[in-house]
Chains A and B, each alone.
Chain A
C-alpha cells in the first residue's frame, strides 16, 4: 500500500495507506502507486483522486496551490487550501 499524506499549513488532513492517488500535476496528471520512483512536482489547482482499493470509487479532494513529493516513505502533497 502507498502511504499518502495531505498537509495544509493549518493541519494534517490525511495520513493513511491507500492503493493509488492521482495528482493533477502542472505538466499533466500522474498516478502514484506503491514503489514509485522519487519525484517532485508542482500541482495545479484541481482534484486529487484517492483510490483506497483497486477498482474502487475514488474519493475526490479539491486542492489549491499544491506541491507533491514522492519518496521512499510515500506520497506527500502540500496544499495551501483543501476542500472536501
Chain B
C-alpha cells in the first residue's frame, strides 16, 4: 500500500498531465477551425482546375506525343510512395495509421515484383519507415522549419518530384495522406499522382459554344499538368493538417478524461488510507486508555 505522501504526489502529477492534455486539446480545436477554413479556401481553385483538366483531357488523345506526366514513362517498375506525415506527436494514432497504410501499399507493390521508393514529408514518418525499409528512402521534405505547410511548400515538393520524374527515378508515384472526414474520423488514403490520372468531372456545360484555345489544347494541358500536381499536393497537405488537429483533439479529449478518472480513483484511495490511519490511531489511543 502506497503511503499517503506517495499518493498525494501521484495525484499532483496526474493533475499536471491533465492540464497539459487539456491545453493541447484546446489548441487543437482552435487550429482545427483554422485548418478547415484553409481547406475551404483552397476548394475553388482545385475545383476549377479539375474541371478545366477534365474538359481538356476529354479533347486530347493520349498517345506518343502526350506529355509524360499524363501518358507515363511507358514502364511500371519503380513506384514512389510520397508519405505525408505531421511533425508533432500528441495526436493519437494519426501518424501510425498513415505509416501503416504506406507499409501496406509498399508490401503489396513488392509482392508484385515492383521496386518501391519513399519520399517522406514531415518528421514523424521518418523513423518507422526507415526501420522497415532502410534502403528505400529516395528523399524527403522537411516541414519543421515552417509553422504551417502552405502552397509554397507544396510547390517545392512538387518541383522536386517533377525533377526526379524527369530524371527517370520513378515511373509511378502514389501519395499517402490522411483524408479529413471529421474530428473523429480521419481516413488514411492512397492516391496516384504521377502519371496524372485524368480527372473525370461531370461534363462541363459550356452551352454548346465552341471554346477557343490559346495556345492549343495540348500546350495548355502540358502547362496545367504540373500545376495540377502542385494543387493535389497542396490539397493533401491541407487535409493532413486538418486531420492532425482533429486526431489530436480527440486523443487529447480522451487523455483528459482518463486523467480525470485516474485522479478520482487516486483521491478515493488517498481518503481511504487517511481514514484508515486515523482509525488505527484512535483504536490505539482507546486501547491504551483502557489498559490503564
A interface with B by C-beta (< 8 Å): 5, 7-12, 25-27, 37-42, 65, 67, 69, 71-72, 76, 78, 80
Contacts and interface: CB of A to CB of B under 8 A. Distances in A.
Given A40-B52, A65-B227, A72-B206, A78 B214 contact: no
Given A40-B52, A42-B220, A67-B52, A12 B41 contact: yes
B38 to A, nearest CB: 7
B234 interface: yes
A1 to B, nearest CB: 19
Nearest to A76: B48
B48 A39 contact: no
Contacts, number: 78
B231 A26 contact: no
Contact of B45 (A9, A69, A71): A9
Contacts of B207: 38, 72
Interface of B: 38, 41-42, 44-46, 48-49, 52, 150-151, 154-155, 206-207, 209-215, 219-220, 223-224, 227, 230-231, 234
Given A39-B214, A80-B155, A80-B230, 7 more contacts: A10-B42, A26-B215, A39-B212, A40-B213, A41-B213, A72-B209, A80-B151
Contacts of B223: 42, 67
A64 to B, nearest CB: 11
A44 to B, nearest CB: 10
B96 to A, nearest CB: 29
B209 A37 contact: yes
Which 7 pairs between the two chains have the least Cβ-Cβ distance?
A: A41-B214, A38-B211, A11-B41, A39-B212, A9-B151, A38-B209, A7-B45
| Most B Cβ at <10 Å: residue of A5, A72, A80 | A80
Contacts of A12: 41, 44
